[in-house]
Chain A
Amino acid sequence: MGNPLINHFMEGTKKGTDWFKTIFDEYYDYIRNYLFYLAGDIEIAEDLAQDVFMKLWENRDKVNESTLKPFLFKIAKNLFLNLHKRKKLNLEFVNSRLENIENESPQFVLEVKEFDEKLQRALSNLPEQCRTYFLLNRIDDMKYQDIAKSFGVSVKAVEKQISKAIKLLREQFDQKL
Protein backbone atom coordinates (compact mmCIF):
# COMPACT_ATOMS: atom_id res chain seq x y z
CA MET A 1 0.00 0.00 0.00
CA GLY A 2 2.98 2.30 0.48
CA ASN A 3 3.35 5.38 2.60
CA PRO A 4 -0.05 6.86 3.55
CA LEU A 5 1.39 10.33 3.20
CA ILE A 6 2.46 9.67 -0.36
CA ASN A 7 -0.92 8.10 -1.12
CA HIS A 8 -2.50 11.21 0.26
CA PHE A 9 -0.51 13.33 -2.19
CA MET A 10 -0.98 10.94 -5.08
CA GLU A 11 -4.71 11.16 -4.71
CA GLY A 12 -4.40 14.88 -5.15
CA THR A 13 -6.24 15.60 -1.92
CA LYS A 14 -6.66 19.27 -1.21
CA LYS A 15 -4.20 20.35 1.42
CA GLY A 16 -6.62 21.17 4.19
CA THR A 17 -6.44 20.62 7.93
CA ASP A 18 -6.74 16.83 7.57
CA TRP A 19 -3.64 16.81 5.39
CA PHE A 20 -1.91 19.19 7.79
CA LYS A 21 -2.76 17.06 10.84
CA THR A 22 -1.30 13.99 9.12
CA ILE A 23 1.92 15.86 8.43
CA PHE A 24 2.01 17.25 11.97
CA ASP A 25 1.54 13.79 13.50
CA GLU A 26 4.29 12.37 11.30
CA TYR A 27 6.93 15.07 11.70
CA TYR A 28 6.30 17.16 14.82
CA ASP A 29 8.52 15.10 17.14
CA TYR A 30 11.40 15.09 14.67
CA ILE A 31 11.26 18.85 14.19
CA ARG A 32 10.80 19.71 17.85
CA ASN A 33 13.66 17.39 18.84
CA TYR A 34 15.92 18.72 16.08
CA LEU A 35 15.28 22.27 17.32
CA PHE A 36 16.11 21.14 20.84
CA TYR A 37 19.41 19.70 19.58
CA LEU A 38 20.14 23.07 17.98
CA ALA A 39 18.94 25.38 20.73
CA GLY A 40 19.37 23.35 23.92
CA ASP A 41 16.18 24.95 25.27
CA ILE A 42 12.88 23.10 25.11
CA GLU A 43 10.69 26.20 25.29
CA ILE A 44 12.51 27.72 22.33
CA ALA A 45 12.28 24.38 20.50
CA GLU A 46 8.54 24.10 21.09
CA ASP A 47 7.87 27.71 20.05
CA LEU A 48 9.96 27.38 16.90
CA ALA A 49 8.32 24.06 16.04
CA GLN A 50 5.00 25.94 16.05
CA ASP A 51 6.50 28.52 13.68
CA VAL A 52 7.86 25.79 11.39
CA PHE A 53 4.41 24.24 10.99
CA MET A 54 2.79 27.64 10.57
CA LYS A 55 5.26 28.27 7.77
CA LEU A 56 4.35 24.93 6.21
CA TRP A 57 0.66 25.81 6.43
CA GLU A 58 1.24 29.17 4.76
CA ASN A 59 3.24 27.55 1.98
CA ARG A 60 1.26 24.33 1.67
CA ASP A 61 0.38 24.86 -1.98
CA LYS A 62 3.97 25.60 -2.94
CA VAL A 63 5.67 22.83 -1.02
CA ASN A 64 7.10 20.10 -3.17
CA GLU A 65 5.69 16.88 -1.75
CA SER A 66 8.82 14.87 -2.39
CA THR A 67 10.93 17.31 -0.37
CA LEU A 68 8.54 17.96 2.47
CA LYS A 69 10.77 16.61 5.22
CA PRO A 70 13.91 18.47 4.02
CA PHE A 71 11.72 21.58 3.74
CA LEU A 72 10.68 21.27 7.40
CA PHE A 73 14.24 20.73 8.60
CA LYS A 74 15.48 23.69 6.55
CA ILE A 75 12.82 26.00 7.93
CA ALA A 76 13.63 24.82 11.43
CA LYS A 77 17.33 25.54 10.97
CA ASN A 78 16.73 28.96 9.48
CA LEU A 79 14.17 30.01 12.05
CA PHE A 80 16.61 29.02 14.73
CA LEU A 81 19.44 31.01 13.13
CA ASN A 82 17.18 33.96 12.58
CA LEU A 83 16.04 34.23 16.15
CA HIS A 84 18.89 32.94 18.21
CA LYS A 85 22.45 34.05 17.99
CA ARG A 86 25.13 31.50 18.64
CA LYS A 87 25.80 30.76 22.29
CA LYS A 88 27.26 27.97 24.31
CA LEU A 89 24.89 25.06 24.30
CA ASN A 90 23.71 23.31 27.42
CA LEU A 91 21.56 20.32 26.50
CA GLU A 92 19.49 19.00 29.38
CA PHE A 93 17.87 15.72 28.45
CA VAL A 94 15.71 13.55 30.62
CA ASN A 95 17.50 10.26 31.26
CA SER A 96 15.04 7.40 31.42
CA ARG A 97 17.71 5.10 32.81
CA LEU A 98 18.10 7.34 35.86
CA GLU A 99 14.34 7.47 36.30
CA ASN A 100 14.09 3.72 36.24
CA ILE A 101 16.92 2.83 38.61
CA GLU A 102 15.50 0.93 41.56
CA ASN A 103 17.03 -1.14 44.30
CA GLU A 104 20.53 0.02 43.48
CA SER A 105 23.16 1.35 45.85
CA PRO A 106 23.49 5.15 46.16
CA GLN A 107 27.04 4.79 44.85
CA PHE A 108 25.82 3.12 41.66
CA VAL A 109 23.12 5.77 41.18
CA LEU A 110 25.70 8.53 41.61
CA GLU A 111 28.02 6.86 39.12
CA VAL A 112 25.23 6.68 36.56
CA LYS A 113 24.32 10.31 37.25
CA GLU A 114 27.92 11.38 36.86
CA PHE A 115 28.24 9.50 33.58
CA ASP A 116 24.97 11.02 32.39
CA GLU A 117 26.16 14.55 33.18
CA LYS A 118 29.46 13.95 31.41
CA LEU A 119 27.67 12.57 28.37
CA GLN A 120 25.21 15.46 28.16
CA ARG A 121 28.07 17.97 28.52
CA ALA A 122 30.05 16.13 25.84
CA LEU A 123 27.02 16.07 23.53
CA SER A 124 26.56 19.81 24.05
CA ASN A 125 30.19 20.36 23.02
CA LEU A 126 29.86 18.53 19.68
CA PRO A 127 29.83 20.62 16.49
CA GLU A 128 26.31 21.31 15.30
CA GLN A 129 26.14 19.01 12.28
CA CYS A 130 27.57 15.89 13.87
CA ARG A 131 25.59 16.54 17.09
CA THR A 132 22.25 16.80 15.31
CA TYR A 133 22.85 13.84 12.97
CA PHE A 134 24.08 11.68 15.86
CA LEU A 135 21.10 12.54 18.09
CA LEU A 136 18.53 12.14 15.32
CA ASN A 137 19.99 8.72 14.67
CA ARG A 138 20.30 7.59 18.30
CA ILE A 139 17.27 9.22 19.91
CA ASP A 140 14.83 9.63 17.04
CA ASP A 141 15.79 6.38 15.31
CA MET A 142 16.27 8.11 11.97
CA LYS A 143 18.22 5.89 9.59
CA TYR A 144 21.33 7.27 7.88
CA GLN A 145 19.47 7.29 4.56
CA ASP A 146 16.57 9.20 6.09
CA ILE A 147 18.90 11.81 7.63
CA ALA A 148 20.75 12.14 4.31
CA LYS A 149 17.48 12.74 2.46
CA SER A 150 16.20 15.17 5.07
CA PHE A 151 19.31 17.34 4.96
CA GLY A 152 20.17 16.98 1.27
CA VAL A 153 23.50 15.25 1.86
CA SER A 154 24.90 11.86 0.92
CA VAL A 155 24.62 8.79 3.17
CA LYS A 156 28.43 8.75 3.30
CA ALA A 157 28.40 12.29 4.65
CA VAL A 158 26.00 11.25 7.41
CA GLU A 159 28.18 8.26 8.26
CA LYS A 160 31.17 10.54 8.38
CA GLN A 161 29.47 13.02 10.74
CA ILE A 162 28.19 10.30 13.07
CA SER A 163 31.61 8.64 13.17
CA LYS A 164 33.05 12.05 13.95
CA ALA A 165 30.53 12.49 16.80
CA ILE A 166 31.48 9.14 18.34
CA LYS A 167 35.18 9.92 17.95
CA LEU A 168 34.79 13.34 19.60
CA LEU A 169 32.67 11.93 22.42
CA ARG A 170 35.30 9.29 23.05
CA GLU A 171 38.02 11.95 23.08
CA GLN A 172 36.08 14.09 25.53
CA PHE A 173 35.65 11.12 27.85
CA ASP A 174 39.34 10.37 27.59
CA GLN A 175 39.97 13.91 28.73
CA LYS A 176 37.98 13.09 31.87
CA LEU A 177 35.43 15.87 31.65
Chain B
Amino acid sequence: MKENQDLNIIQFTQDLRVPATISKEEAWQRLEKNISNLSEKPNTQTRFPIYTFISLSIAASILLFIFYFALKQAPTKTFFFETQSSEVKKEILPDSSIIFLNANSTATFTYNKFRKKREVSLSGDAFFNVRKGKEFSVLFGGGQVNVLGTAFYVSAYSDRFISIECTEGKVRFEIDNQKVTLNAGEGIKSFDHILSEKFTVNEKDVKEKLNGVFFWQKISLAEIEELIENRLGYNVILETTLATRNFSGELLLTSPQSFLPTLAAAMNLDYTINDKEKTITLNAK
Protein backbone atom coordinates (compact mmCIF):
# COMPACT_ATOMS: atom_id res chain seq x y z
CA MET B 1 0.00 0.00 0.00
CA LYS B 2 2.80 2.34 0.98
CA GLU B 3 4.77 1.43 -2.16
CA ASN B 4 1.72 2.29 -4.29
CA GLN B 5 1.42 5.60 -2.54
CA ASP B 6 5.10 6.43 -3.16
CA LEU B 7 4.62 5.49 -6.78
CA ASN B 8 1.66 7.84 -7.00
CA ILE B 9 3.58 10.66 -5.34
CA ILE B 10 6.40 10.32 -7.87
CA GLN B 11 4.12 9.79 -10.87
CA PHE B 12 1.93 12.70 -9.91
CA THR B 13 4.90 14.99 -9.35
CA GLN B 14 6.14 14.16 -12.83
CA ASP B 15 2.73 15.17 -14.19
CA LEU B 16 2.99 18.62 -12.62
CA ARG B 17 3.91 21.58 -14.80
CA VAL B 18 5.00 25.03 -13.78
CA PRO B 19 2.37 27.53 -14.97
CA ALA B 20 3.31 30.49 -17.17
CA THR B 21 1.89 33.93 -17.82
CA ILE B 22 4.29 34.61 -20.71
CA SER B 23 5.91 32.28 -23.24
CA LYS B 24 9.67 31.72 -23.39
CA GLU B 25 9.77 33.72 -26.62
CA GLU B 26 7.99 36.65 -24.96
CA ALA B 27 10.41 36.43 -22.03
CA TRP B 28 13.34 36.64 -24.48
CA GLN B 29 11.82 39.61 -26.31
CA ARG B 30 11.38 41.45 -23.01
CA LEU B 31 14.96 40.67 -22.05
CA GLU B 32 16.31 41.68 -25.44
CA LYS B 33 14.53 45.01 -25.16
CA ASN B 34 16.02 45.58 -21.69
CA ILE B 35 19.58 44.77 -22.71
CA SER B 36 19.34 46.99 -25.75
CA ASN B 37 18.50 49.85 -23.36
CA LEU B 38 21.65 49.21 -21.36
CA SER B 39 24.87 50.97 -22.06
CA GLU B 40 28.23 49.34 -21.32
CA LYS B 41 28.16 47.35 -18.15
CA PRO B 42 29.90 48.77 -15.09
CA ASN B 43 32.55 47.27 -12.89
CA THR B 44 30.97 47.08 -9.49
CA GLN B 45 33.01 44.72 -7.38
CA THR B 46 36.30 45.19 -5.58
CA ARG B 47 38.32 42.53 -3.78
CA PHE B 48 40.65 42.85 -0.85
CA PRO B 49 42.55 40.39 1.29
CA ILE B 50 41.68 40.52 4.97
CA TYR B 51 44.38 41.29 7.49
CA THR B 52 43.29 43.98 9.89
CA PHE B 53 40.05 45.75 10.27
CA ILE B 54 41.71 49.09 10.94
CA SER B 55 43.66 49.30 7.71
CA LEU B 56 40.68 48.08 5.81
CA SER B 57 38.47 50.83 7.10
CA ILE B 58 40.83 53.35 5.44
CA ALA B 59 40.77 51.39 2.22
CA ALA B 60 37.00 51.23 2.57
CA SER B 61 36.66 54.97 2.18
CA ILE B 62 38.66 54.92 -1.06
CA LEU B 63 36.76 51.93 -2.34
CA LEU B 64 33.46 53.51 -1.48
CA PHE B 65 34.41 56.52 -3.54
CA ILE B 66 35.28 54.35 -6.58
CA PHE B 67 32.29 52.13 -6.02
CA TYR B 68 29.93 55.09 -5.74
CA PHE B 69 31.11 56.67 -8.97
CA ALA B 70 30.94 53.37 -10.79
CA LEU B 71 27.39 53.06 -9.59
CA LYS B 72 26.46 56.59 -10.55
CA GLN B 73 27.16 55.74 -14.15
CA ALA B 74 25.45 52.40 -13.94
CA PRO B 75 21.92 51.40 -14.71
CA THR B 76 22.59 48.17 -12.76
CA LYS B 77 20.01 47.31 -10.16
CA THR B 78 21.35 44.31 -8.27
CA PHE B 79 24.82 43.56 -6.97
CA PHE B 80 26.01 40.05 -6.39
CA PHE B 81 29.04 38.99 -4.37
CA GLU B 82 30.24 35.46 -3.87
CA THR B 83 33.14 33.53 -2.40
CA GLN B 84 34.46 30.08 -3.17
CA SER B 85 35.66 27.54 -0.60
CA SER B 86 38.52 28.87 1.54
CA GLU B 87 38.02 32.39 0.21
CA VAL B 88 37.10 35.53 2.14
CA LYS B 89 36.13 38.81 0.54
CA LYS B 90 35.40 42.26 1.78
CA GLU B 91 32.67 44.28 0.12
CA ILE B 92 31.71 47.88 0.71
CA LEU B 93 28.07 48.82 0.54
CA PRO B 94 26.81 52.19 -0.75
CA ASP B 95 26.33 53.46 2.85
CA SER B 96 29.95 52.45 3.64
CA SER B 97 28.87 49.50 5.74
CA ILE B 98 31.23 46.55 5.25
CA ILE B 99 30.57 42.89 4.62
CA PHE B 100 33.30 40.31 5.17
CA LEU B 101 31.98 37.39 3.21
CA ASN B 102 33.28 34.08 4.50
CA ALA B 103 33.89 30.92 2.43
CA ASN B 104 31.32 29.54 0.00
CA SER B 105 28.85 32.37 0.58
CA THR B 106 26.86 34.86 -1.47
CA ALA B 107 25.35 38.26 -0.75
CA THR B 108 23.20 40.51 -2.91
CA PHE B 109 21.54 43.88 -2.65
CA THR B 110 19.51 46.04 -4.98
CA TYR B 111 21.15 49.40 -5.34
CA ASN B 112 18.14 51.65 -5.90
CA LYS B 113 16.23 49.93 -3.15
CA PHE B 114 19.22 50.01 -0.79
CA ARG B 115 19.35 53.79 -0.84
CA LYS B 116 15.84 53.85 0.62
CA LYS B 117 15.91 50.68 2.66
CA ARG B 118 19.19 49.07 3.67
CA GLU B 119 18.68 45.38 2.90
CA VAL B 120 21.16 42.65 1.98
CA SER B 121 20.34 39.02 1.34
CA LEU B 122 22.80 36.40 2.48
CA SER B 123 23.36 32.75 1.86
CA GLY B 124 26.34 31.58 3.91
CA ASP B 125 28.58 33.15 6.54
CA ALA B 126 29.42 36.84 6.87
CA PHE B 127 30.60 39.44 9.33
CA PHE B 128 28.82 42.79 9.06
CA ASN B 129 30.10 46.12 10.27
CA VAL B 130 27.13 48.42 9.79
CA ARG B 131 27.38 52.18 9.66
CA LYS B 132 24.97 53.95 12.00
CA GLY B 133 21.83 55.16 10.27
CA LYS B 134 18.47 53.82 9.22
CA GLU B 135 17.53 50.23 9.90
CA PHE B 136 19.82 47.71 8.19
CA SER B 137 18.44 44.23 7.46
CA VAL B 138 20.10 40.98 6.51
CA LEU B 139 17.68 38.49 4.95
CA PHE B 140 18.43 34.79 4.82
CA GLY B 141 16.52 31.56 4.35
CA GLY B 142 14.43 31.26 7.46
CA GLY B 143 14.67 34.71 8.95
CA GLN B 144 16.27 38.10 9.15
CA VAL B 145 18.44 40.34 11.31
CA ASN B 146 17.61 44.01 11.86
CA VAL B 147 20.09 46.52 13.27
CA LEU B 148 20.70 50.25 13.37
CA GLY B 149 24.48 50.47 13.57
CA THR B 150 26.49 47.59 14.90
CA ALA B 151 28.83 44.70 14.17
CA PHE B 152 27.66 41.12 14.04
CA TYR B 153 28.29 37.74 12.44
CA VAL B 154 25.60 35.76 10.64
CA SER B 155 25.91 32.10 9.74
CA ALA B 156 23.05 31.13 7.42
CA TYR B 157 24.17 28.60 4.84
CA SER B 158 20.78 26.90 5.14
CA ASP B 159 17.54 27.49 7.00
CA ARG B 160 18.34 24.43 9.12
CA PHE B 161 21.26 25.98 11.01
CA ILE B 162 21.44 29.69 11.68
CA SER B 163 23.72 31.46 14.12
CA ILE B 164 23.93 35.16 15.01
CA GLU B 165 26.72 36.65 17.13
CA CYS B 166 26.74 40.31 18.12
CA THR B 167 30.06 41.99 18.85
CA GLU B 168 28.99 45.62 18.99
CA GLY B 169 25.71 47.48 19.55
CA LYS B 170 22.42 45.63 19.46
CA VAL B 171 20.87 43.12 17.05
CA ARG B 172 17.24 42.11 16.59
CA PHE B 173 16.88 38.60 15.22
CA GLU B 174 13.67 37.17 13.80
CA ILE B 175 13.06 33.59 12.77
CA ASP B 176 9.76 31.76 12.36
CA ASN B 177 7.95 34.67 14.07
CA GLN B 178 10.20 34.44 17.14
CA LYS B 179 11.95 37.69 17.98
CA VAL B 180 15.15 37.94 20.02
CA THR B 181 17.36 40.90 20.91
CA LEU B 182 21.09 40.35 21.29
CA ASN B 183 23.47 42.76 22.97
CA ALA B 184 27.20 42.99 22.32
CA GLY B 185 28.91 39.82 23.51
CA GLU B 186 25.84 37.64 23.03
CA GLY B 187 25.06 34.97 20.46
CA ILE B 188 22.20 32.64 19.65
CA LYS B 189 21.62 29.81 17.21
CA SER B 190 18.71 27.97 15.68
CA PHE B 191 18.95 24.34 14.62
CA ASP B 192 15.97 22.62 13.01
CA HIS B 193 13.95 25.71 13.96
CA ILE B 194 14.68 25.33 17.67
CA LEU B 195 16.30 28.37 19.23
CA SER B 196 19.14 27.85 21.68
CA GLU B 197 19.71 29.80 24.87
CA LYS B 198 21.85 32.91 24.43
CA PHE B 199 25.56 32.27 24.78
CA THR B 200 28.60 34.47 25.35
CA VAL B 201 30.82 35.47 22.44
CA ASN B 202 33.96 37.52 22.21
CA GLU B 203 34.98 39.67 19.28
CA LYS B 204 38.30 37.93 18.70
CA ASP B 205 36.68 34.50 18.31
CA VAL B 206 34.03 35.91 15.98
CA LYS B 207 36.57 37.58 13.70
CA GLU B 208 38.75 34.45 13.69
CA LYS B 209 35.96 32.75 11.74
CA LEU B 210 37.08 34.78 8.75
CA ASN B 211 40.36 32.86 8.98
CA GLY B 212 38.43 29.60 9.13
CA VAL B 213 38.87 29.14 12.90
CA PHE B 214 35.60 28.32 14.67
CA PHE B 215 35.26 28.18 18.44
CA TRP B 216 32.24 26.83 20.28
CA GLN B 217 31.44 26.44 23.93
CA LYS B 218 28.96 23.74 22.93
CA ILE B 219 27.87 22.48 19.52
CA SER B 220 26.29 19.19 18.47
CA LEU B 221 27.85 16.95 15.86
CA ALA B 222 24.66 17.36 13.80
CA GLU B 223 25.27 21.12 13.72
CA ILE B 224 28.91 20.62 12.75
CA GLU B 225 27.73 18.20 10.03
CA GLU B 226 25.42 20.88 8.60
CA LEU B 227 28.17 23.51 8.67
CA ILE B 228 30.73 21.23 6.99
CA GLU B 229 28.31 20.16 4.27
CA ASN B 230 27.52 23.74 3.37
CA ARG B 231 30.93 25.28 3.92
CA LEU B 232 33.15 22.63 2.37
CA GLY B 233 30.66 20.87 0.08
CA TYR B 234 31.33 17.43 1.58
CA ASN B 235 28.53 15.06 2.46
CA VAL B 236 28.95 13.95 6.07
CA ILE B 237 27.76 10.47 6.96
CA LEU B 238 27.18 10.48 10.68
CA GLU B 239 25.85 7.66 12.84
CA THR B 240 22.42 8.74 14.12
CA THR B 241 23.46 8.03 17.69
CA LEU B 242 26.30 10.55 17.39
CA ALA B 243 24.17 13.45 16.17
CA THR B 244 23.32 14.83 19.59
CA ARG B 245 26.82 14.51 21.08
CA ASN B 246 28.34 17.89 21.89
CA PHE B 247 31.76 19.26 21.07
CA SER B 248 33.52 22.13 22.83
CA GLY B 249 36.60 23.80 21.46
CA GLU B 250 38.21 25.15 18.33
CA LEU B 251 38.32 23.73 14.79
CA LEU B 252 40.03 24.97 11.64
CA LEU B 253 37.34 24.49 8.99
CA THR B 254 39.33 25.05 5.82
CA SER B 255 39.44 21.43 4.64
CA PRO B 256 38.43 18.01 6.01
CA GLN B 257 42.07 17.32 6.85
CA SER B 258 42.35 20.52 8.86
CA PHE B 259 39.74 19.65 11.49
CA LEU B 260 38.95 15.93 11.44
CA PRO B 261 41.99 14.75 13.44
CA THR B 262 41.15 17.24 16.21
CA LEU B 263 37.44 16.48 16.19
CA ALA B 264 37.97 12.71 16.09
CA ALA B 265 40.45 12.79 18.96
CA ALA B 266 38.23 14.97 21.13
CA MET B 267 35.07 12.94 20.47
CA ASN B 268 36.69 9.49 20.32
CA LEU B 269 35.62 8.91 16.72
CA ASP B 270 36.95 7.13 13.65
CA TYR B 271 36.78 8.99 10.39
CA THR B 272 37.33 8.45 6.68
CA ILE B 273 37.57 11.03 3.92
CA ASN B 274 36.71 10.27 0.31
CA ASP B 275 37.87 13.31 -1.67
CA LYS B 276 36.71 11.83 -4.97
CA GLU B 277 33.11 11.42 -3.84
CA LYS B 278 33.40 14.33 -1.41
CA THR B 279 32.20 12.34 1.59
CA ILE B 280 33.28 12.20 5.20
CA THR B 281 32.24 9.27 7.39
CA LEU B 282 32.24 9.55 11.17
CA ASN B 283 31.78 6.54 13.44
CA ALA B 284 32.14 5.91 17.16
CA LYS B 285 35.30 4.02 18.05
Contacts and interface: CB of A to CB of B under 8 A. Distances in A.
Interface in A95-110: 95-97
Q: Could you tell me the dominant secondary structure of chain B's interface residues?
A: mixed
Interface residues of A, number: 66
Contacts, number: 175
Contacts of B143: 86
A20 B27 CA distance: 13
Contacts of A89: none
Contacts of A85: 139, 144
Given A28-B24, A94-B16, A95-B16, A77 B123 contact: yes
B108 A79 contact: yes
A43 B22 CA distance: 9
Interface in B13-55: 13-22, 24, 27-28, 30-32, 34-35, 38, 41-42, 45
Interface string A111-128: 000011001100100011
A59 B76 CA distance: 10
Nearest to B278: A154
B47 to A, nearest CB: 11
B229 A153 contact: yes
A73 B119 CA distance: 20
Contact of A94 (B8, B17, B35, B233): B17
Given A86-B142, A93-B18, A160-B235, A50 B110 contact: no
Interface of A: 17, 20-21, 24-25, 28-29, 32-33, 36, 42-43, 45-46, 49-51, 53-55, 57-62, 71, 74-75, 77-79, 81-83, 85-86, 92-97, 115-116, 119-120, 123, 127-129, 134-135, 138-139, 152-157, 160, 166, 169-170, 173
Interface of B: 2, 5-6, 8-10, 12-22, 24, 27-28, 30-32, 34-35, 38, 41-42, 45, 76-78, 80, 82, 104, 106-110, 119-123, 139-144, 158-160, 229-230, 233-235, 237, 277-279
